[in-house]
Amino acid sequence: MKKRPGKQLLELTVNDEFYELAVEPQETLLEVLRNHLGLTGTKEGCGTGECGTCTVLMGDEPILSCLTLAMDCRQKEIRTIEGLDRENGLTVVQDAFLQQGAVQCGFCTPGMILATTALLEKNPNPSQEEIKKGLEGHLCRCTGYNKIFEAVEQAAARKSRHGDSGSV
Ligand code: FES
Ligand code: FES
């Protein structure tokens, strides 16, 4: 791929697709996902690391894509809300959020779902405190948080009932 002056070549994998992109050195991962790849499920809230709405997974770890330079994602594997491994349309976590009424305007939801997915992959039976800690830094202006915490508990319970056969 031919680079434009000032741009740098970025190679990364997003949702199991390999990409080569020419990006400005100061561009964030959030900008690359939304503006270059059209993955607008990742939301920009504050843009300064305060709200968690821009969360994506780098490997298994949640990261704030608004604070991550795209060039720091060279050769990394990124997963966004569009790339979750769904069975029958929704993951267990997404379905639990829906069932519990943990989604209102939905703006915080992709970040919450990805943070919850990462939490349950590491800790399938988190305590209430661990759930709160796992979602700290994720702001929601609508739900009052209780429905979200209940959704995480429901997802964990369903996951443990069904063993590891289903995707989180
Ligand atoms: S948009 Fe990244 S933390 Fe708010
Ligand atoms: S559902 Fe609206 S910000 Fe969380």
Domain regions of the chain by residue span:
8-83, 92-161
* Angle at 64 (CA atoms; ends 21, 71), nearest 5 degrees: 30
Residue-wise pLDDT tens digits, 44-58:
999 999 999 999 999
* Angle at 9 (CA atoms; ends 4, 11), nearest 5 degrees: 150
Residue-wise pLDDT tens digits, 59-108:
999 999 999 999 999 999 999 999 997 766 899 999 999 999 999 999 99
Mean pLDDT for all residues in the chain:
94
Q: Which residue is closest in CA terms to ligand 2's atom 4?
A: 140
Distance 24 CA to ligand 1 centre (A): 20
Looking at CATH, the fold of the domain delimited by 92-161 is given as: DNA polymerase; domain 1 (1.10.150)
Distance 99 CA to ligand 1 centre (A): 26
Mean pLDDT of 132-150: 97
User: How far is the C-alpha of 134 from the C-alpha of 74, rounded, in Å?
Assistant: 26
Cβ of residue 137 lying under 6 Å from some atom of ligand 1: no
| Token reading at 149 | 């915490």
Residue 165 predicted with pLDDT over 60: no
Topology match between the domains 8-83 and 92-161: no
Q: Which atom of ligand 2 is nearest to the CA of 141?
A: 3
What is this structure's pTM? 0.92
Q: Which residue is closest in CA terms to ligand 2's atom 3?
A: 140
Give the pLDDT confidence score for residue 7 in this predicted structure.
Answer: 95
Looking at CATH, the fold of the domain delimited by 8-83 is given as: Ubiquitin-like (UB roll) (3.10.20)
Q: Which atom of ligand 2 is nearest to the CA of 112?
A: 4
